[in-house]
A and B are shown apart, each in its own frame.
Chain A
């Protein structure tokens, strides 16, 4: 028995020793790991990394897709930063992120806490709340376009029943971006809800029970137990929400095409318009690189902030 029991332990120790030394077992394990990762890595390299690197290269070129690219240094970057439309797109996208980020996190958490209750029908409600996520962006855009119509839309119908004058949601430059934000929150808050729900279910019940025994009420339990333990999920949700906010496109393209008066014109639409309507691939790639840097800066800042907390 002893010998049988000791054999695996001895083998395991040998493996650990070998791993520490970077021996054949470790390199074998690494190879296996890479083999498992290879399908994803191949796709990532082919469809993400190489195109991103190509875009960085193209951002220094003059190229209209059909001709031969010509190196022009930083001219494309000078061109986009001299273009008032690009600056408008940055300002608008920032406004969109501002309008969506906090509600997406707060509502996502609130929905998760609501649906974390052990009540009859919770599973059904969870499904219903998650349902909008599977709807295509074009459908979402058309649907909310109808709902927001000034004359015949359901939103204004309900507003008028409580005495509020109808709002030209998608035709008034002051209301168009809030309308896009509302649409986006309805459409995607459920992904944040799912992440929070998973994190909530990871919090041991005993902690809440112990706190309750010590006399803590629901608010104190939320502040001193739930929130601190949700910090990693909160960091992930905030980062994803902000990054996705900077990449907004479909809703704006379908619902307002960037109008009225450029009030919903966002960076990705600028890239699309420049690349595939004006066929100026260089400035479009330069705008893409700027967007990449913006999201990178926001992500790093957010990660640093969460670490500090």
Chain B
């Protein structure tokens, strides 16, 4: 058959072979051109389609920039990322760089899967002075810097402008206090002729982490803290009780929310217009814009004595393993990523830690910025969850930890608030007394 083909072809066998060899050579040229690039592997948890695309796009730009470093990103969901990373570290096959949250940093520093990067920061010229104090503190453990803080994502206030207008409220003057918020929530809750609620004013689901973040914010607003001076749980304190009771009253006394309505992703009641308001991070801005919802964002109202808002932050660290020869390449990418964070921040929906990037036209000039601005305005009020080595087991998202289970029990009404918080403290103390 092959002979027949060549017999009919205008090319001789030798010409065809030469042509093939030339094609192979040309095809391999880009590889040859970048043969000197040092490969750096990066694991991250930005697995949503938009997030992965955004990150890969930015990395492509970097890889084509001729900096002599080729970054190879791999995304896993957060749980898989952490377990895989620790197991790979044990086997000496950890990735060079890992992107995770600063609240998880003490755990990974304690487990010795990351190395201090003061030397990398110094040699690469990464300017940490651009980062607010809270962000710098977050990446410092035992007096050493362990990661580059990339962004901050605080809780914010989203409301459906159409529903607000229908209720006769002014969308340009969102509530700033607990009283004003309650007034909005009541007016935005709609009932049918039989008194059955057809739309709740506020989304407060008892699944996923939203309720935890809201309660955490309110606890600090009422003057409380999550941990006491000895590092044990202070969740049974007065401020914590006030905060949780306020949320439970929204359900049982005021009837403006229902913990069985709403949740994450497909269950999102704000997205499906089953509720008029919700508190969530800036990562939902792009989703609501894509949905073409007429919405607006605002700073979290102050329910207690002072403003306070839950936040977390992504950071990038270097795995601790025999990869010292890659530190310069690691630093090159980390600095570039830190300095060019406006694009991924806008697409993912997070606020750059770097003041220079945050105030750059690349960020403030985007169509998303009118929604991001309230999050930026709330940055002085952010509170990170405690930076403890047991973070993953204590602050697990939906898993039945003492924190999650008792919070859900209080919201569902199966435990009174003081009992739920007492049980939560006992469970948390047992977790906190473990080494981590």
Q: Is the CB of B405 within 8 A of A146?
A: no
Interchain pairs with CB closer than 8 A, number = 88
Chain B interface residues (CB < 8 Å from chain A)? 79, 82-83, 86-87, 89-90, 111-113, 205-207, 259-261, 263, 266-267, 269, 272, 274, 392-393, 396-400, 404-405, 408-409, 412, 414
Residue A186 is within 8 A (CB to CB) of chain B in the complex? no
Residues of chain B lying within 8 A (CB to CB) of residue A278: 392-393
Q: Is the CB of A66 within 8 A of B400?
A: no
Nearest 7 Cβ contacts at the A-B interface? A257-B398, A168-B260, A262-B400, A276-B83, A171-B260, A258-B400, A265-B400
Q: A259-B207, A279-B111 are in contact. List 12 more A-B contacts (CB 8 A).
A: A149-B267, A150-B260, A150-B261, A258-B400, A260-B207, A261-B408, A262-B405, A265-B399, A276-B82, A277-B392, A278-B393, A279-B86
Q: Is the CB of B266 within 8 A of A173?
A: no
- Interface residues as binary, A140-153 with B (CB distance below 8 Å gives 1, 0 otherwise): 00100110011110
Residue A240 is within 8 A (CB to CB) of chain B in the complex? no
The closest CB in chain A to the CB of B398 belongs to: A257
Q: Is the CB of B83 within 8 A of A277?
A: yes
Asked if A142 meets B86 with Cβ closer than 8 Å, knowing A66-B111, A262-B405, A278-B393, the reply is: no
Residues of chain A lying within 8 A (CB to CB) of residue B409: 261
Residue A172 is within 8 A (CB to CB) of chain B in the complex? yes
The listed residue (B259, B272, B399) touching A151 by CB distance below 8 A is: B272
Residue A85 is within 8 A (CB to CB) of chain B in the complex? yes
The closest CB in chain B to the CB of A257 belongs to: B398
Taking the closest CB of chain A, its distance from the CB of B418, in whole angstroms, is 17
Residue A287 is within 8 A (CB to CB) of chain B in the complex? no
Q: Is the CB of A173 within 8 A of B414?
A: yes
Q: Is the CB of B414 within 8 A of A66?
A: no
Please, how many angstroms separate the alpha-carbon atoms of A149 and B205 in the complex?
12
The closest CB in chain A to the CB of B414 belongs to: A261
The listed residue (B89, B266, B269) touching A146 by CB distance below 8 A is: B266
Taking the closest CB of chain A, its distance from the CB of B39, in whole angstroms, is 25
The listed residue (A66, A85, A150, A273) touching B112 by CB distance below 8 A is: A66
- Interface residues as binary, A259-284 with B (CB distance below 8 Å gives 1, 0 otherwise): 11110010001000101111100000
Q: Is the CB of A257 within 8 A of B206?
A: no
Asked if A258 meets B90 with Cβ closer than 8 Å, knowing A149-B266, A150-B260, A171-B263, the reply is: no
Q: Is the CB of B274 within 8 A of A259?
A: no
Residue A109 is within 8 A (CB to CB) of chain B in the complex? no
Q: Is the CB of B398 within 8 A of A259?
A: yes
Chain A interface residues (CB < 8 Å from chain B)? 64-66, 85, 88, 142, 145-146, 149-152, 168, 170-173, 256-262, 265, 269, 273, 275-279
Q: What are some 24 contacts across the A-B interface (CB < 8 A)? A: A65-B87, A66-B111, A88-B400, A145-B266, A149-B267, A151-B269, A152-B272, A171-B206, A171-B260, A256-B207, A257-B398, A258-B398, A258-B400, A260-B206, A260-B207, A260-B408, A265-B400, A269-B399, A273-B399, A276-B79, A277-B82, A277-B83, A278-B392, A279-B86
Q: Is the interface of A mostly helix, strand, loop or mixed?
A: loop
Q: Is the CB of A66 within 8 A of B272?
A: no
Please, how many angstroms separate the alpha-carbon atoms of A27 and B396 in the complex?
58
Residues of chain B lying within 8 A (CB to CB) of residue A168: 260-261
Taking the closest CB of chain A, its distance from the CB of B47, in whole angstroms, is 12
Taking the closest CB of chain B, its distance from the CB of A123, in whole angstroms, is 35
Please, how many angstroms separate the alpha-carbon atoms of A278 and B435 in the complex?
11
Taking the closest CB of chain A, its distance from the CB of B323, in whole angstroms, is 17
Asked if A260 meets B412 with Cβ closer than 8 Å, knowing A171-B207, A276-B83, the reply is: yes
Please, how many angstroms separate the alpha-carbon atoms of A259 and B112 in the complex?
32
Residues of chain A lying within 8 A (CB to CB) of residue B400: 85, 88, 257-259, 261-262, 265
Residues of chain A lying within 8 A (CB to CB) of residue B272: 151-152
